[in-house]
């Protein structure tokens, strides 16, 4: 049985102890046949109090402070790997780490992002771990890969995710509207320009026009699939269900005990990565092919335009929001 690393963000107030979270964690560990052998915590007052209280709910495992978890400690990739390696020994035990953000997120990121290339293609980008106060996330530890600790997110338990559920649903609605808008726009372009017999001769290179038409058709299909998938995610939880024999993919947390907020969030991002983003790429391919046909570029001009497009794409990809959590 592999080790399980439990990451928990400290409580906000000693008077608001997450009893329901501790009970659910204990119930899940009992179901999996695991015991918490050790609780490590940062040396801050709230993390210390949280660790000592949590130990009383888990049959009194050893509790130890670790300066490497302190928020003032300058974390390094090698230091995070060594910390993980020191507490995961392959003995089929669970270790609870109570600390601060973003340190816990960095610790998780080093493990979740360390995987074979084919796993990244199947599961998508490694998930971030935005923990709420008193939330617990369970990472199942895999054998070391490329000389570093590795693992995957198995389940989470949060105090209350009702607000997060509503916020994720609103985000899904906005993404659904974007997919609807872009799908309609591509349908208009395809029917009004490419499929108009009188205009085909005006577009020049027939091969490029064919590439554009195919790309737009693919984009329309993917945008429609995005809309239907996001509509499924908006189904009331009362009617959620699954067929017998359905195998949970590794990129999706286990439910129960994980909340609906995590299930919605991970499905939303999976659809965005594997359906919406390819549709957007298909649109760009179609537009580039259409521009190439209309401009009738020569050899040197084509090279210059390709370099400009590559530079613009690289610039756009670098200009992205930087979000984070700090205790």
* Rounded-to-integer distance, Cα 235 and Cα 237, Å: 6
* Rounded-to-integer distance, Cα 13 and Cα 17, Å: 7
Q: Give the tens place of pLDDT for each residue, 20-37.
A: 999 999 999 999 998 898
Enter the tokens of residue 174. 């906005």
Judge contact between 136 and 36, C-beta under 8 A: no
Apex 248 CA angle, 243 and 250, nearest 5 = 165
Q: Give the tens place of pLDDT for each residue, 71-115.
A: 877 777 888 888 888 887 777 789 999 999 888 998 999 999 999
What does the pLDDT read at residue 5? 94
Flag residues of the chain having pLDDT under 50.
Answer: none
pTM over 0.85: yes
What does the pLDDT read at residue 195? 62
What does the pLDDT read at residue 1? 66
Q: Give the tens place of pLDDT for each residue, 186-215.
A: 888 777 666 665 555 666 667 777 888 889
* Rounded-to-integer distance, Cα 10 and Cα 137, Å: 12
What does the pLDDT read at residue 197? 57
* Rounded-to-integer distance, Cα 24 and Cα 30, Å: 10
Among residues 185, 172, 208, 193, the alpha carbon closest in space to that of 279 is found at 185
C-alpha torsion angle, residues 315, 319, 320, 321 (rounded to 10): 170
């Amino acid at each position: 049985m592999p080790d399980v690393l439990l990451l928990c963000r400290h409580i906000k107030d000693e008077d608001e102890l997450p009893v329901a979270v501790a009970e659910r964690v204990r119930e899940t560990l009992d179901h999996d046949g695991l015991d918490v052998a050790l609780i490590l915590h940062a040396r801050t007052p709230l993390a210390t109090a949280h660790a000592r209280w949590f130990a009383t709910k888990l049959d009194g495992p050893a509790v130890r402070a670790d300066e490497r978890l302190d928020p003032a400690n300058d974390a390094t990739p090698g230091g995070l790997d060594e910390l993980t390696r020191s507490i995961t020994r392959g003995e089929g035990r669970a270790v609870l780490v109570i600390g601060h953000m973003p340190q816990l997120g960095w610790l998780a990121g080093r493990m979740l992002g360390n995987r074979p290339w084919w796993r990244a293609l199947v599961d998508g980008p490694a998930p971030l771990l935005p923990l709420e106060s008193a939330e617990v996330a369970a990472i199942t530890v895999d054998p070391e890969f490329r000389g570093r600790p590795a693992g995957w997110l198995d389940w989470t338990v949060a105090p209350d995710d009702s607000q997060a559920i509503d916020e994720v649903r609103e985000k899904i609605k906005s993404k659904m509207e974007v997919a609807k808008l872009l799908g309609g726009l591509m349908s208009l372009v395809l029917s009004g320009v490419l499929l108009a017999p009188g205009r085909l001769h005006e577009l020049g290179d027939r091969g490029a026009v064919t590439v554009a038409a195919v790309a737009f058709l693919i984009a329309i299909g993917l945008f429609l699939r995005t809309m239907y998938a996001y509509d499924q995610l908006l189904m009331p939880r009362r009617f959620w269900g699954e067929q017998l024999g359905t195998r949970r993919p590794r990129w999706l947390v286990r439910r129960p005990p994980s909340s609906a907020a995590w299930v919605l969030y991970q499905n939303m991002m999976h659809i965005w990565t594997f359906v919406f983003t390819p549709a957007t790429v298909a649109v760009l391919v179609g537009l580039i092919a259409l521009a190439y046909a209309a401009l009738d570029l020569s050899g040197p001009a084509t090279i210059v335009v390709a370099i400009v497009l590559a530079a613009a794409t690289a610039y756009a990809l670098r200009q992205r929001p930087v979000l984070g959590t700090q205790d």
